[in-house]
Amino acid sequence: MSFAMLTFSGVTVQAQSNAELQGMIVGRDGPTMYVKTGDTRQIVTLQDNTQATEKGGFLGWSHKDLGIAALVPGLEVKVDGTYDQDHKLIARKVEFTRGSMRTANQIDAGLTPTNAKVAAQQDALMSARRDIESTQADIAASKQQIAANQQQEQQDAQQAQTGIGKTNGRIGQLDQYETKGTLTVNFRNGSAVVSKADKDQLEDFIKTASNTPGFMVQVQGYASAVGSATLNQRLSSERADAVLAIIQQSGAVPMTRILAPAAMGTSEQVADNHSRSGQKENRRVVVTILVNKGIVGSSDQTASVTQPGQ
């Protein structure tokens, strides 16, 4: 009977020690990871020796160990581990597919601008409501107009939620993050080498960021839209990895506070590629300090981080 197995809410438990669950990461706070399985949310504790493995290739036979920094919200995962006395799952191994990682990165890239559009729509709706309420000629006309306006608001809200669903449909209610500071590192053409000046500036930035309660570090690499797509994708990945290596070597940021470096290729061009100066601006890595609003609280409780020298 010691090998009997129980299954509940997407979680399999064997002999009340070894456990396995499958679900989607909906939040990260350092070593604590939240995984949604069905209608429940399981707390998973990550350790420095937790294996994070990407499966890909034909029939998923190809494996690549990426480290716990790769475990980002939106990622479909399979977790093996054991439960502690508080029913938190201590993870030994986390597996995910290459396709799921690609989708999670796309969700992360599109989440911020989508939320900004929704907020702007909500502000516009509130302003329209105030105008309607203040310009009614009499009570009867006001009631009719308010009823019509409420109906329109419901339609607009549904359209806004549909827009969010297209981006966030796979992750449900993803925990929101607030940007506390950014630093941009630029590169020479065809190079992934960080200059001495940028290295010093990056180390100062990371040391300052490490004093921010509940922070996470996001690293995104880009390339200018010049040359082949394959080369640009590789350069954006190598640049992100080079910046990540400096952050890790600084010793100021634990691995559990670093999100997986993202190779963004030629997406989000910030300047015109018809000039050398524009191409240089696009050859970059953006380091962002994020804070989980749900854990840290309001923005006045967290110190902001500024980019040194800029």
Q: 132 vs 257, which has greater pLDDT?
A: 257
At 305 the pLDDT is 44
Confidence category of residue 150, pLDDT binned at 50, 70, 90? confident
At 77 the pLDDT is 92
Cα Dmax for the chain: 78
- Residue 82: its H or E element: strand 76-83
Average pLDDT, the chain: 78
161 has pLDDT over 70: no
Cα 58–Cα 64–Cα 67 angle in degrees, nearest 5? 150
CA distance 181 to 241: 20
At 308 the pLDDT is 41
At 17 the pLDDT is 67
Confidence category of residue 245, pLDDT binned at 50, 70, 90? very high
pLDDT per residue over 181-234, tens digit each?
Answer: 999 999 999 999 999 999 999 999 999 888 888 888 999 999 999 989 999 999
**Which residues are CB-neighbours of 247 under 8 A, at least 6 positions away?**
202, 206, 217, 219, 253, 258, 287
What CATH superfamily is the domain 5-102? Nucleic acid-binding proteins (2.40.50.140)
Are 43 and 30 spatial neighbours (Cβ–Cβ below 8 Å)?
no
At 170 the pLDDT is 34
How do beta strands 51-56 and 62-65 pair?
A: antiparallel
Q: Quick one: what percent of the chain has pLDDT higher than 90?
A: 34
CA distance 245 to 88: 31
At 191 the pLDDT is 93
Confidence category of residue 306, pLDDT binned at 50, 70, 90? very low
Give the Å distances, CA to CA, from 128 to 18, 145, 159, 160, 173.
Answer: 57, 11, 17, 16, 28
Confidence category of residue 162, pLDDT binned at 50, 70, 90? low
CATH code for residues 177-301: 3.30.1330.60
CA 214 to chain centre: 15
